[in-house]
Every structure is written in structure tokens, then in C-alpha cells.
Structure 1
Amino acid sequence: MKKYKKIYFVGIKGVGMAPIAIIAKQAKFEVAGSDVSEEFITDAVLKKEGIHPLIGFNSDNVKKFVALSKNQEVLVIATAAHGGFKNPEASFAQSIGIKVISHGQAVGYFMSGELFGRKDFERISVAGAHGKTTITALLALCFSSLGLDPSYTVGTSEIFPVGSAGHFGRGKYFIAEADEYAAEIEKDKTPKFLYQYPKFLIINNIDFDHPDFYNSIDEIVVAFEKLTLNVQKNGTLIVNGDDLRIKEVVKKIRKDIHVITYGVSQKNDFCITQYAQEEFSSHFTVFSKGINIGRFTLSVPGFHNAKNALSAIALLLEIGVSVQKIQEILPQFGGTKRRSEKVGITKNGALVIDDYAHHPLEIQKTLSTLRTAFGQKKIICIFQPHTFSRTLALLSEFSMSFADCDSLIFLPTFASARDEISDEKEYNQKIKSAFAKVEKNVKILEKGDDVVEYISQNFDNSSNILITMGAGDIYKVGYKLINK
């Protein structure tokens, strides 16, 4: 019997929150939630599921939602943004005795099956500084195509061609993206992924990020070490065997955990070779312990994505899926929203692409992939840094990440609610100065509309590829370009 009947989501439009709200709705809970008025990439999928976010945060929203229900039948889930547990809706819920948990806690709770009265979930978690959204989405596609009807939550809005990034399935597998950021920045600084207890854990890489939470790469490594302790007894750990930090983590894991490695080195259990890219498709061969197990095709570009797919191949083989079947289903994956997504064509023929890349390494890999895909065409990158803390901490790396674009258009930093900046103008100027030193054409603009006008006057033709890049609201510029 279900303990809760109603679930309220504070910050329901977020790419972490929207998928679990959809899961709850599909699992027949009464669902409601609130957020800011700005357009989000999750708006369409929420609407499709019959979820209509309330605008603004007000304790009356929760009061009306509870109505005549017993408090113990209502659960409130609060995002780390918008004040976290201090949000007026979360605070009010706590004051009247309603259980309030963070998004990180909620994902772990959903995966346990307890919320749904289920005990059969085999939990799969996908972690890493980069690539975890793509790998989780690819697994969701593969398991769905195999008829396994998994439940899954992926940190985006859509998976192509599956649909929504959240799904409550009848099958036994629950697949979740595992985020290393804090569950709640003041009240619960537990890394989100430590609320997950997977049977299968993929770690794709370990890199420095979230400088507002982690003081050093060493702290991040410790968090990943703790995550491996959460792997169930006799569980399976699938790791990028080329990553030096992961190698150190693996040395400390329990002896009952089965380790599978993947990567470029032939020392790995699964090795990727003979990579080739044709525009937006890629092909590669996989060897396992010296044996050629087959040639695979992906409908998304980039060596990094082929390597991401290698982790999924390793997991699928581990659960008994045949090589032939994997070769059949992999090409069905069309990527996700905001990951090298083809947005459309401008009136004069320029292709517009959008990507979520907001870390120097992600930017380098994405631009390199586009350079390979489009050869002699000029790549115009419109970049909006995300959070002052990350941008300032990695400023020198950022300024060297755009080698594969021909022109760089730079917008002011998209600040996070967790940024503690006294003078945004001063910090933006410091960031602009660093980007102005990049050895290429750099144009510094203030607003998205300025970008649209500048592009229209200088780059709107079929010889150019226009890519909007960043984790903020830069994607809106792409839609303005194709609709101008």
C-alpha cells in the first residue's frame, strides 16, 4: 500500500525535477508544483503529461494542494535552487508536519521502489563529471527498445526518439542519472548521488567542477569513493579504465564488487578502435579481451559519444543482451534535448545547433566534433558562461577551449541562485577581459537580441554553423535565429 497519495514539487520545471514529477504522475500520484514564470525546456513535456506548474512560490499553493488530505499522505520535494528548504513553500510544509525531501533524496527514494509499493527494481546509476546525461538517456532508449519498459530519470527534457526524460515503467530496471552536486546547499550537503544504492554503477570520468561546493578535485574523488560503497552486495561497477582518478577509486572498492572497464586502452575489458565519423553519425569497432566483438553505429557524432556508448554496451552485454541486438538498437538513439541538438535552419540557410556544454572539456569536445562533422564550414559559437563560481575558477581553461570555432560571440554569465557575487558587473568585466584575449574573432555582446541582430548581419548563410552553448537560457537565442 502506498504511503503517500500526493506529491508537490518546488521548482518543478528544473531538468532534474520535471522527470521525477512525470514519473510520479504516471505512477498515479496526484502531482502539482511551482516554479518561476520564465520559459524552460521542460515546459512542453510537463504540459503533455497534464502537469501545469503554478507560477511563483507561495505557502498558499501548498495549503490548497493539501486541502482535506492528511499531512502524512503528502510529500513535498524541493529543488536545491529557489532557496531549497528555505523556500516559503518548503518552509510552510515543514511547519505543518509535511515531509520535505530534496531532489537527491527523492531520486534515491523513487529507485528504492518503496514509494510505489515495489520491491523488484534493479537499480542502475550513471555518474561522472561529463557524459552522464547521454549515457543514461542511451540506456533508457536501449532498454525501452528491448521491450524491458524501464523506469528512468535523466537530467534533460527529452530523449530522441523516446520522448520525455522521465518514465515510470512496469519493468524491473530503474535507470537514473547520478549527480555529484549537493542535495541542498545549506541543510543537506550530501552529494545527491549518495542517496542512490545501485546494483549497477557506471562512472564515466572524474573531473573538477562545482567549485561553489567542492574545494578541490580531491574532495570530488572522495565523493566518488563513497558512491562505490553504495553499490549493492555482489553488484557491478562499470568504469572508464582510461581515467587515472577512477583507477585510484577502483583500488579501494569492496572485493565482492565485479569491475568492468572500458576505454581506449587495450588493457580494458572493452576497448574502442577504428572510430570513424560521417557528419552526424559515427562508427566504431569494439574489442573484448583481444576479440573483435563487432562494428557499431551511433546516430550522434563525436568520439566522446562513441566512448559513452561503450559503457552502455558493456552493461547490456553484462545483463545478457546479444551483440547483434545491441548493434540493431544503438542507431535508434538520436541524442537528447540540448546535447548537440539540431534546432533548425535560418532563413538564409545557416544550421543552428544547441548544446548544454558549460565546462571547458565539454566545450572542447563538442566543438572538435562539429569541426570533424562539418569540415570547411565556419563554426560560429555563441557562448554564455554558467555560474560565476565555475567560470572564475576555470577561467584560464575556458579561454583556451574554443580552438575549433572560427568566431566566438560572448554573452554575460548566467548567474545561479547559489552564486554569491557582490558586483556582477565587476566580475563580468573580469571574465570578458579573459575571453577577449582568445586568439580568434571575439565579439562581446550584452543581450540575446543583440546576438540575433549581429548574426543576421554577419553570419546568416549556408556556409556557417551557428552553435549556442551553455547551461543557462542561451538556447532561446537559437530559436530566435531560426524564427527571425
Structure 2
Amino acid sequence: MNAQDAGAIVSPAELGRVHFIGIGGAGMSGIARIMLSRGIAVSGSDAKESVAADVLRGLGAQVSIGHDPAHLGEADTVVVSSAIREDNPELAAARSRNLRVIHRSAALASLMLGRRAIAIAGTHGKTTTTSMTTVALQHCGIDPSFAIGGVLSASGANAQDGTGDVFVAEADESDGSFLLYTPTVGVITNVEADHLDHYGSAEAVVQAFDAFCLRVRDTTGGTVVACGDDPGARDVAERARAAGVEVLLYGTGEYCDVRVVDLGSSSTGATFGLVVGGLRIGEVELQQPGAHNALNAAAAFSVGHLLGLPSERVLAGLALFGGTRRRFELRGEARGVRVYDDYAHHPTEVTAVLKAARGVLAPGGRVIAVFQPHLYSRTLAFTEEFARALSLADHVVVLDIYAAREDPVPGVTGAVIADRVDLPEDRRHFQPSFLDAAGQVAGLAQPGDVVLTIGAGDVTVLGPEVLKALG
């Protein structure tokens, strides 16, 4: 985040006409959608066409493809994300015109003014937990506003300007910009080293979450909700409590305020009971598998509990939650092979999704993981950890690295991970050709297998291609 873009949060009325550079992104499009709902004039540009761009046009935004200073039009405020480089022609023109340039998080913080903000942070699980919380609160009838870094499977929406006074937002820690928020409830799902290209060290990551807790403390009635099962989140929570922050812990430990018990699985997803204050208050059967999703649901329940909502309604909402796109999303089945897609791009996330896949596997079936590393910096920082996580699969196909905002690093490819996966050579593969990957995976798959396309890049498009090759 550019320091000059992190100034004071202004009210929506002060923004004037707003232009988004990279408007099709998950976070940017959601903010633009809410602004349009509030009557703010919105324009934007992106590198390519997308469903999000079409939806925003339908809502009244002027969306251009390609980046050109002329696209700024009569904009008063320009919104950017950390993925936008300073040499972007629209950003350079905005700076030369002395327009207000704000970070995506500052724009979101502006929209949260006057609402009870629920900011959901953490190294992993933010999108699912934000989605679960949103659906559970909707089921309780309070119609929250929400902004999620993914799309709810049931509604197809990633954001909405609700009529209630609660605003649920995914709080992205990747560039430190989540410290712009002053939430009433701050959720921390976990704290691990990641985004070291921004932070530089694991210690700096922890310090950012410490600072996030102090932002919560500065809000009237502010409470930090943290996962007691995660060592990093628990340590941050304990320091926050010592600093005078109200803290609620959730997890499986006896010391947790909201406790997950009798964790199991059904044919559809995780099952568990919840204990609050020593009383078992209900049972949950999720539509999503995995112990990590049980914890995500416990976090969402904790938010509803703090808001004083009826426990049975919150639990019913969690049971109805139909998932978020790209979070263990079933893309289809062909020739007895099910294909799922997941956004996991950190070793801990890859581990969780592969363990979850075991829970839905048919007897005799195998897990085939198709992994696309995301960022050269992350690949180099976590090579061994990625290899260890992928070793949980039966077959692994590693694609080349999705560069995103980074420049290529000579000599660094997906092979650095594939070569270290602890599987026989005929069960671990580096596939440098994206075009050949679907056919290779289809050739490996047998009836009863589960194929997972995993990563934060464009690996998601492979799922339909694998199904086509199988068919």
C-alpha cells in the first residue's frame, strides 16, 4: 500500500465520482457494487472482460477494457489495490491531476462508517468465514451489508448494501491495509507467515495483527474473536487481552469460550456440537467438509453470539450455507471422477483442503491434486512446506507459477516444488504446459477419484477442461 494512499477515511458523500483501476477484481468489484447502490457515480477499467465487469455495467457503472488516462473522465477519487503499479497510465495521470487516490481498503472503510463493522481477518479462511457470517446473519433477519473476497454460491454476489446497521467485511492483511478499519468485532482465524514480499518477516506479520487488535480496542464495545486452536492467533489474543482488549476464543480446547465438540463428518460435510458457557447449545451439519470449516463456522457463530442473535437461528443459517465459489467448489463429475476447485495458495490451506478431500472420497478412490503456485516470492519462501502439503495427495501435478503482480525470477518454476514432493516419481509431475494439463490429469484419473484444482491464479479454468477431457 502506497503511504500517500492511506490518509484519513472520508465519508462516501465526499468521494464524488469514483474511478476504480482494476474494477473486475473480487474486492474492487464488491466495493463498486455497494457504491452504485448508494447512488455514487462509478467508472472503472480492467485488463480484460469479466462477469464482474458486465454485472457492474448493468448496475450503471461505466467500465472500460484496457488502461488509458482518458478512462478517468471527470473522476474526483481514484481507487487502487496493491496490485496496481505506479507506472499504470491511469494512476500516473491521476497523480499528475492531483486527484484523490485511495487504497481499496480506504474505500471500504469509508462505506463502513456509521455501521457496526465486523472485520474478519486471518492468514487463511477469511473468505469462507466472512461468507458463513453473512449468511448466518441474513438468516437471523438483520440484512447486513457485506463485502467478500469471493462469490456466494447461492446468490452469486460478493457484496451488497444491506438495510441493517451491521457491515461484514473480509479484512485483507496482505498489504497491511486492514489496519484502516475500526471494527466492533475483529475476527482472527489464524496468524502465520505469509505475504513476506510486503512484511519482510514473520515477526512483522504478527505485529500487524497485534495492531489490528488495538484498532478493535479503540471501538466502543469492541471485541476480538480469535481461534484458540491456532497458536499464532491465540498468542495475539493473549497479548491483546493483556492490553485491555475484550477477547472471545473459539475452538476445540477446554479454555475456549465457544467450543467445538464431537467433530465428525457426514456425506456432505463436517458435523459438530457447540458448547457455550458450559452448555451444549446445538448441533451443526455443514455442507462443507473439513475440520477447518467447523472452526470457520464456530467463528461465524461467535459473531452472532456477540451481536445477541438467537443461537438456534445462527446455527440454522450455518447449516444452510451453500459455500463460496472457489472454496472446495464442486465443478462437476464425469466418468465417476469428481472435480473440485479451491483457492488455497498457502501450505496450511493446501494441507486443509487435501485433508478435507479425504473426507468425501469414495472407498478405493484417490486424491489427484493439480496445484498452481501463486507468486515467485511465496514459492521461494515456502517451497518445502508446499511439497510437504502436496505429499498428502495420491498424485500431484504442479503447474508453472502464476506471477500475478510479480516479475519472473530466472530459474524458478513449479518444478522446484514438484521435485520435492514425497511421492514416487510416477506420481508427482511438473507440467509446464497449461494447455496439456487437463489431458494429463484426465489420463491419471480413475472412477472414484477426486481431482482438485488448487491455487489463486487461473488454475480454476482447468476444472471444466478436465471434465471435458474425461467425458
Does the TM-score normalized on the shorter chain lie above 0.5?
yes
Distance 1:124 1:429 in 2: 37
SS of the residue corresponding to residue 247 of structure 1 reads helix
Q: 1:41 to 1:213 in 2, by over 3 A?
A: farther
- Asked if 1:34 corresponds to 2:45, the answer is yes
How many Å apart are 1:464 and its aligned residue? 1.9
Of 381-390 and 320-329, the range deviating more from structure 2? 320-329
Distance in 2, matches of 1:167 and 1:281, equals 27
2:352 to 351, 359, 365: 365
Read off the aligned partner of 1:275 and give its amino acid letter.
L
* SS of 1:53 mapped into structure 2: strand
Report if the CA contact (8 A) 1:400-1:438 is conserved.
Answer: no
Q: How many residues align?
A: 453
Cα distance between partner residues in 2 of 1:41 and 1:129: 27
- 2:120 pairs, out of 83, 102, 126, with 126
Aligned to 1:187: none
SS class of match (1:17): helix
**What is the aligned partner in structure 2 of residue 298 from structure 1?**
286
Instruction: After TM superposition, list the pairs within 5 Å mapping 1:107-118 onto structure 2.
Output: 107-112=108-113
Matched residue, 1:312: 300
Give the conservation status (yes or no) of the 8 Å contact 1:32–1:53.
yes
1:9-408 to structure 2, matched below 5 A, reads 9-37=20-48, 42=52, 45-46=55-56, 49=59, 51=61, 53-62=63-72, 65-66=73-74, 74-83=76-85, 85-112=86-113, 119=114, 121-156=115-150, 158-182=151-175, 191-231=176-216, 232-253=219-240, 257-346=245-334, 348-376=335-363, 377-408=365-396
Q: Is the 8 A contact 2:401 2:414 kept in 1?
A: no
Amino acid at match of 2:122: G
Q: Deviations over 1:142-201 (max 9, x none)?
A: 222222121111111x1121331111112101111111122xxxxxxxx11001000111
Map Cα deviations across residues 184-225 of structure 1 (whole Å, 9 max, x no partner).
xxxxxxx11001000111111100111211222211110011
Shift of 1:46: 4.1
CA–CA distance in structure 1, aligned partners of residues 125 and 240 of structure 2: 23
Q: 1:240 to 1:90 in 2, by over 3 A?
A: same
What's 1:2 paired with? 13
Structure 1 unaligned regions, length at least 5: 113-118, 183-190
Question: What TM-score does the superposition give when structure 1 sets the normalisation length?
Answer: 0.88
**Partners in 1 of 2:433 and 2:55 — Cα distance?**
28
Residue in 2 that maps onto 1:116? none
Displacement of 1:380 after TM fit? 1.2
Residues 410-445 of structure 1 show CA distances to partners (whole Å, capped at 9, x for unaligned) of 11011122x24442xx11176156346544601221
Gaps (5+ residues) in structure 2? 1-11
Shift in Å, 1:51:
4.6
CA shift for structure 1 position 45: 4.8
* Deviation, structure 1 residue 43: 5.1
- C-alpha separation in 1, matches of 2:394 and 2:418: 19
Deviation at 1:354, TM superposition (A): 0.3
Percent of paired sites with the same residue:
30
How large is the Cα RMSD of the aligned pairs?
2.1
Query: Measured at CA, do residues 52 and 469 of structure 1 come closer, stay the same or move farther in structure 2, by a change above 3 Å?
Result: farther
Q: 1:51 to 1:2 in 2, by over 3 A?
A: closer
Q: Matched residues in 2 for 1:279 and 1:40: separation? A: 34
Partners of 2:33 and 2:56 within 8 A in 1: yes
Change (3 A) 1:221 1:140: same
Secondary structure in structure 2 of the residue aligned to 1:163:
coil
Which segment drifts farther, 162-171 or 242-251?
242-251
Offset at residue 246 of structure 1 (A): 2.8
* Residues 463 and 364 of structure 1: CA distance in aligned 2, closer, same or farther (over 3 Å): same
Q: What letter is aligned with 1:465? A: V
The amino acid across from 1:239 in the alignment is: A
